[in-house]
Amino acid sequence: MEFAISKSVLLAIVLAPLLGSIVAGLFGRQVGRAGAHSITILGVAASCVLSGYVLWQLVGQGAAPFNENLYTWFQVGGFEAHVGFMVDKLTAMMMVVVTFVSLLVHIYTIGYMEEDPGYQRFFSYISLFTFSMLMLVMSNNFLQLFFGWEAVGLVSYLLIGFWFKKPTAVFANLKAFLVNRVGDFGFLLGIAGVVLMFGSLDYGTVFANAPTIQGATIAIFDGHEWSIATLICICLFIGAMGKSAQVPLHVWLPDSMEGPTPISALIHAATMVTAGIFMVARMSPLFELSETALQFILFIGATTAFWTGLIGIVQNDIKRVVAYSTLSQLGYMTVALGASAYSAGVFHLMTHAFFKALLFLGAGSVIIGMHHEQDMRRMGGLKKYMPITYWTMVIGTLALVGTPFFSGFYSKDTIIEAAKHVSEHRGWVGQYAYWAVLLGAFVTSFYSFRLLYLTFHGKERFHAAPPADYVAPEADSEEHAAAFSHEHDANGNGHDAHGHDDHGHGHGHTPHESPWVVTLPLVLLAIPSIIIGFLTVGPMLFGTDWSGHHEQLPFFLGAIDLTAARDTVLALKHELWHGPVKFALHGFQAPAFWLAFAGFALATFMYLLKPELPGKVASALKLPIRILENKYGMDALWINGFAGGGVALGKLSRIIDSRVIDGAAVNGSASLVDFTARLVRRVQSGYLYHYAFAMILGLIVILALLIRSWH
């Protein structure tokens, strides 16, 4: 029996979260809190189960990929735009990851947002987010891709600024919106280039005809020829730089922490930030036409992987440490794309989704247990109070730093090996990329174990006075402000009351483990963080079964288009792959492992054995630490340069509009007409002797001119 993917199943996968979002958003009062979370969780759960079924059909039953148009969006002359789906193994893997992580975030939200006044609205937003991401990854054309692209941007704007009465949240969502508009402008130019060269937006048509632009050039400026493939690919990648937060379009991502923790996990793990990585992998037939574009991607990814990771070392907010970790790991994925190791990039995307969601939700559990304190300097000793949260975060940390046999090792180590492979023939960019991802292993390990030690080990600091530079966060809303003032007495001492993410000082509170709706998702995410890499690295990367002994067709065959000569992962298979066990054992000998171990050892020494040492180091290294705390000045550049320049341009245009256009052109011409009318009105007095006098004066002037001309 030949299996075929059902169109109705695909529609159900997409529409179930949308239906839940509509019900929770428009009928939230009628269905209540329980109804809102029930309908949205049911919708996302249905999508998750059906996505798993589709992946099983493709992998286990040999079903053919689905690529059909379902609806004609519009038709202009001979040009048509459609709503359709392209579902192959790459898409199906993304569908499962998105819906599974989203489902656990939905369940987690029941506990985290329990007392928030915007409970139903939040569930509506995150369900809409899931729908938008599914439309993006399942699209079979550039226009639908752009629809999903902008939809996830819109919903992220709404979620980052969910607590819209907090000035910092409003600033953060506006920042995300503006920075992503820069990337989206480049993305739109890339899509315009595709339409110009291929006359179609359909993936199949564009990819089939991609070789026709090989070597073709276009003169944008007279005398300067540009490679068409390079131009299109770089414009498309600029869109990915915005969505996937690559330098210099990365500045919005750490500020997205102003949103509630569940959405931080969803944005950073499985949805918006992975869109750019997925897009470049999907467009591999185009990107493989341009060596220049791949070099550019490699350089940007390496810069992001190492330099943004360094900023995580000096962060004290538990969520921001994990946020800068996300930036760094996105850089690793981008390096894989630039190294033509697309399958390694999306494989790391998958494993990262599980352990990064685990770390974010674990950080949220800590915030709940600490009664909404986020500063790690006010934590310490939480291991005995929050054992489930602690051990799950240990698992997430071991996966993140690339510990052999954990999921993150198989994907991250493959990327480092791919960077090493291309460093031999990509010039200085290849060498730079290899050293950036290699040294990034040390940086990642150091800030990850620093987080664990400051949060869960050492002295209990939650009863101590806050540090000198401690800034108490604002309340999210009027309701939370009232609750906060009620919970804290005149001396700042609180009582054991709940209110989510209002970030009270936490003085006088005893930490506690989070409720089961929070800890259950942590346990369910910890399981794939341990085993998913071991079980899937063979099939997804190296074309073998899970044990590594039996050859199979490449998992992404047909979805990622590469010639054997450029297939970096295929080259690594011949060099390194002898099954997941031997691959992990080889990892113990690799420099990345020993650099990660050095980061662990240094963090252990500084934050566990000698906790007074970080203060001394900070005093000795004031300038480097200040540079990292200022984020290399990138925030100031965007705020004062881009945003400030936009404001200055707006003020200049207002001056030109009011003084030149309105003042000189509009109001000036009106004044001139008014002055002329007044003058003419005075001349036309209606008295005969006035007219006779004017005639005599005119005659005298004429005679004078005539006499002057005769002489």
Q: Are residues 260 and 329 in the same domain?
A: no
Q: Are residues 281 and 302 in the same domain?
A: no
pLDDT at 357 over 60: yes
- 599-615 pLDDT tens trace: 999 999 999 999 889 88
Question: How confident is the model at residue 72, as a pLDDT?
Answer: 87
CA dist 572 and 584 (Å) reads 14
Give the up-direction half-sphere exposure of residue 688: CA atoms within 13 A in the CB hemisphere: 0
Partner residues linked to 81 by β-bridges? 74
> What's the total number of domains in the chain?
4
In this prediction, residues 301-312 reach a mean pLDDT of 94
256-273 exposure pattern, b = at least 16 Cβ within 10 A, e = fewer: bbbbbbbbbbbbbbbbbb
- Domain boundary (239, 254, 289) is at 289
pLDDT at 479 over 90: no
Q: What is the domain extent for residue 356?
A: 290-468+527-610
Let me know if residue 333 belongs to a domain: yes
416-453 exposure pattern, b = at least 16 Cβ within 10 A, e = fewer: bbbbbbbbeebeebbbbbbebbbbbbbbbbbbbbbbbb
CA dist 184 and 570 (Å) reads 33
**Could you tell me the two tokens for 576?**
């390194």
pLDDT at 401 over 90: yes
Q: What is the mean pLDDT of the chain?
A: 86
**Could you tell me the two tokens for 485?**
């003032």
Q: What single DSSP character describes residue 529?
A: H
CA dist 167 and 165 (Å) reads 6
Let me know if residue 276 belongs to a domain: yes
Question: How confident is the model at residue 2, as a pLDDT?
Answer: 60
- 10-38 pLDDT tens trace: 999 999 999 999 999 999 889 989 999 99
Q: Name the band, by pLDDT with cuts 50, 70 and 90, for residue 468.
A: low
Residues contacting 657, CB < 8 A, separation 6+: none
Q: Name the band, by pLDDT with cuts 50, 70 and 90, for residue 220.
A: confident
Q: Are residues 586 and 643 in the same domain?
A: no
∠ at Cα 520 (516, 526), nearest 5°?
145
473-494 exposure pattern, b = at least 16 Cβ within 10 A, e = fewer: bbbbbebbeebbeebbeeeeeb
In this prediction, residues 142-170 reach a mean pLDDT of 91
Q: What single DSSP character describes residue 494?
A: B
- Domain boundary (227, 255, 289) is at 289
Peptide bond preceding 248 in cis form (omega within 30 of 0): yes
Place of tokens 């000569």: 565
Quickly list H helices, 116-163: 119-138, 142-160
Question: How confident is the model at residue 498, as a pLDDT?
Answer: 38
**163-177, 291-305, 473-487: range with highest mean pLDDT:** 291-305
Q: Which of 126, 172, 116 is nearest to 476 (CA)?
A: 116
Residues contacting 418, CB < 8 A, separation 6+: 335, 336, 339, 341, 344, 568, 569, 572
259 and 500 Cβ atoms separated by less than 8 Å: no
358 and 522 Cβ atoms separated by less than 8 Å: yes
Of 333 and 5, more confident: 333
255 and 175 Cβ atoms separated by less than 8 Å: yes
> What pTM was computed for the model?
0.87
Q: Which helix (H) or strand (E) holds 268?
A: helix 261-269
Question: How confident is the model at residue 487, as a pLDDT?
Answer: 36
Q: Are residues 362 and 299 in the same domain?
A: yes
- 28-77 pLDDT tens trace: 889 989 999 999 999 999 999 999 999 999 998 888 999 999 888 888 87
Partner residues linked to 79 by β-bridges? 76
Instruction: Transcribe 411-476 into DSSP letters.
Output: HHHHHHHHHHHHHTTSHHHHHHHHHHHHHHHHHHHHHHHHHHHHHHSSS--TTSPPPTT--PPPPS
Q: Are residues 282 and 339 in the same domain?
A: no
Let me know if residue 154 belongs to a domain: no
Q: Are residues 556 and 673 in the same domain?
A: no
> What SS3 class is residue 396?
helix
94 and 137 Cβ atoms separated by less than 8 Å: yes
Let me know if residue 400 belongs to a domain: yes
Let me know if residue 503 belongs to a domain: no
Let me know if residue 505 belongs to a domain: no
pLDDT at 237 over 90: yes
Q: Are residues 264 and 334 in the same domain?
A: no
Number of H helices, E strands in the chain: 29, 4
Let me know if residue 353 belongs to a domain: yes
**Could you tell me the two tokens for 55?**
């992946």
The proportion of the chain whose per-residue pLDDT surpasses 70, expressed as a percent, equals: 92
Quickly list H helices, 283-386: 284-287, 291-312, 318-338, 342-369
- Domain boundary (254, 273, 289) is at 289
Place of tokens 């595709």: 194
Q: Are residues 595 and 459 in the same domain?
A: yes
- 545-582 pLDDT tens trace: 877 777 888 888 888 888 777 888 888 988 888 889 99
CA dist 97 and 99 (Å) reads 6
3-state SS string for 541-575: HHCECCCCCCECCCCCECCECCCHHHCHHHHHHHH
Residues contacting 222, CB < 8 A, separation 6+: none
Residues contacting 168, CB < 8 A, separation 6+: 258, 474
Q: Are residues 579 and 461 in the same domain?
A: yes
Q: Are residues 378 and 235 in the same domain?
A: no
599 and 443 Cβ atoms separated by less than 8 Å: yes
Handedness of CA 13, 160, 268, 633 (dihedral sign): positive
126 and 263 Cβ atoms separated by less than 8 Å: yes
Question: How confident is the model at residue 643, as a pLDDT?
Answer: 67
pLDDT at 663 over 70: no
In this prediction, residues 167-185 reach a mean pLDDT of 89
CA dist 320 and 528 (Å) reads 24
CA dist 388 and 358 (Å) reads 12
Let me know if residue 156 belongs to a domain: no
240 and 280 Cβ atoms separated by less than 8 Å: yes
CA dist 167 and 215 (Å) reads 51
- 194-206 pLDDT tens trace: 999 998 899 999 9
Q: Are residues 85 and 29 in the same domain?
A: yes
Q: What single DSSP character describes residue 371?
A: T
pLDDT at 480 over 60: no
Q: Are residues 297 and 219 in the same domain?
A: no
CA torsion angle 311 312 313 318 (round to 10): 140
pLDDT at 155 over 70: yes
